Structure 1
Amino acid sequence: MVDAALAVLDETGIEGLTVRAVAERLGVKAPALYWHVRDKQALVDEMGTRVWSGIAAEAAAVPRTGWREVCAGYAWAARRGLLAHRDGARVFSGTYLTDAEVLRQQEGTLAWLGERGFTAEAATDAFAVLTAFVVGHCIEEQARLQAEHDGYTLARRAERVGADEHPLVAASGRHMFAGDGGTRFDALLRVVLDGIAGLRSERR
């Protein structure tokens, strides 16, 4: 069921994701799926749990050479997981995790960070900031790809804002959209990590 739902999402986007569409892909009637999920949100929760489980597993495999590397590894894993599916960031942010094992996997990382100057609260805040950054950035990345598909370009942006009268806005646009999404993500992630450094209670 989850595989079919992810396939529907990848083909149609969030607007086309319905219990009926998933049922049709499985070759059954929609009421048959309601034996397994009570509504569309419950289906999305199952899909989100699958995606975040994969992200957690990938993040757990990141070599623990330093706290910055661990946090960055999580961020990159989350980006890959969310971008792997059409509208992934919009669909899977804030979903209810139906498998508690995804949460239990955090125990080792939280303990490890605790040995490196992060209280449990600080480590929690660090990952909350990272998650918010990744989700927001991925939403922007996927929206940008759609805009480019629709013919929206940097030149059109400059024309709309009036680049001659607003040179700083035009320059800001050139900087914001320079390079690919990964390059921009890496640069901003470094800024986020610099901020997270301030959460440490001691330097180790």
Structure 2
Amino acid sequence: MSKGLAKEDVVRAALDTLDAEGLDGLTLRKVAARLDVQAPALYWHVRSKQELLDEMGTEIWRRISLRLEERSVDEPWRTALAAYARIARTELLAHRDGAKMATGTTMTDVEVLRRREPRLAAMMRQGFTVRTAAQANVLLHHFVIGFCIEEQSVIQAKAAGDPRYDLRDRDARVDSDAYPLVAEAGREIFEDDDRRFAELVELILGACEGLRSADDAAGA
């Protein structure tokens, strides 16, 4: 089987292993076992766990870029960036520890990078410079990654029966009668991830509008 083993097979098995074992339990040996081969058979495609993570991260961003390609490149920049945030969150949350896994990885498929060109060009047509378009994308990208890492950690803790994120328990520990603002803030932080994500994305898009306006002012 190792003779006909393709890189796509390895990445698919690695993502399945991630779902089953989590990031801490992901090893080349376990991926190989899932493929019914010995670990050295994987070395034709990945020589270390970091290279495996690079391939897995690239696959996640490939899926995101392909979904974005289905959208009009001429849509307003706010609509485009908001769509990126939603799509990226969906794909990162699709796998256990998906966001944590994807951090710090190197893109191995240059085509994924090249797909960004039309969307960066669209942002420039709408008033950004290369610098501020990059800043806007980095700002949103880092927010999505961080939000998803925290979100997945809480989801998994709750699923394991961890009481720390039970709001009633938290209110009791905080003493919500004496500290009502802290208790109310906790409900804002830990309830309705979808709503909070959408609201925070809008705040970030407002900051991106400031970047674009600064470009307009500089060019005036």
- Answer yes or no: is 1:113 the counterpart of 2:114: no
Greater C-alpha Rg: 2
State which of 93, 99, 117 in structure 1 corresponds to 2:103.
93
State which of 119, 122, 139 in structure 2 corresponds to 1:129.
139
- Answer yes or no: is 1:26 the counterpart of 2:35: yes
Shift of 1:93: 1.8
- Answer yes or no: is 1:103 the counterpart of 2:113: yes
Counterpart position of 2:186: 173
Counterpart position of 1:57: 66
With 140-149 and 119-128 compared, the bigger mean Cα shift is at: 140-149
| Counterpart Cα distance in 2 of 1:52 and 1:65 | 21
Counterpart position of 1:13: 22
TM-score (norm 1): 0.94
Overall identity of the aligned pairs, in %: 48
Shift of 1:159: 2.0
User: What secondary structure is seen at the aligned counterpart in 1 of 2:71?
Assistant: coil
For the aligned residue pairs, the C-alpha RMSD in angstroms reads 1.3
Give the aligned residue type for 1:173.
Answer: G
With 162-171 and 115-124 compared, the bigger mean Cα shift is at: 162-171
User: Which 5+ residue runs of structure 2 have no aligned equivalent?
Assistant: 1-9
| Counterpart Cα distance in 1 of 2:103 and 2:71 | 22
Instruction: After superposition, give the CA deviation of every residue in 1:51-90 in whole Å (9 maximum; x if it has no partner).
Output: 1011111123233331100111111111111011000000
Shift of 1:31: 1.4
TM-score (norm 2): 0.88
State which of 159, 176, 182 in structure 2 corresponds to 1:163.
176
Counterpart position of 2:207: 195
| Counterpart Cα distance in 1 of 2:204 and 2:149 | 17
Counterpart position of 1:154: 167
User: What secondary structure is seen at the aligned counterpart in 2 of 1:71?
Assistant: helix
Instruction: Kindly indicate whether the alpha-carbon contact (under 8 Å) linking 1:62 and 1:73 is maintained by their aligned counterparts in 2.
Output: no
State which of 45, 49, 61 in structure 2 corresponds to 1:36.
45
| Counterpart Cα distance in 2 of 1:25 and 1:55 | 26
Shift of 1:27: 0.5
Instruction: After superposition, give the CA deviation of every residue in 1:150-184 in whole Å (9 maximum; x if it has no partner).
Output: 242111112222223322111100112232x2222
- Answer yes or no: is 1:185 the counterpart of 2:197: yes
Shift of 1:4: 0.4
- Answer yes or no: is 1:80 the counterpart of 2:79: no
Shift of 1:127: 0.6
User: What secondary structure is seen at the aligned counterpart in 2 of 1:85?
Assistant: coil
| Counterpart Cα distance in 2 of 1:155 and 1:117 | 48
| Counterpart Cα distance in 1 of 2:107 and 2:11 | 14
User: Which 5+ residue runs of structure 1 have no aligned equivalent?
Assistant: none
With 161-170 and 38-47 compared, the bigger mean Cα shift is at: 161-170
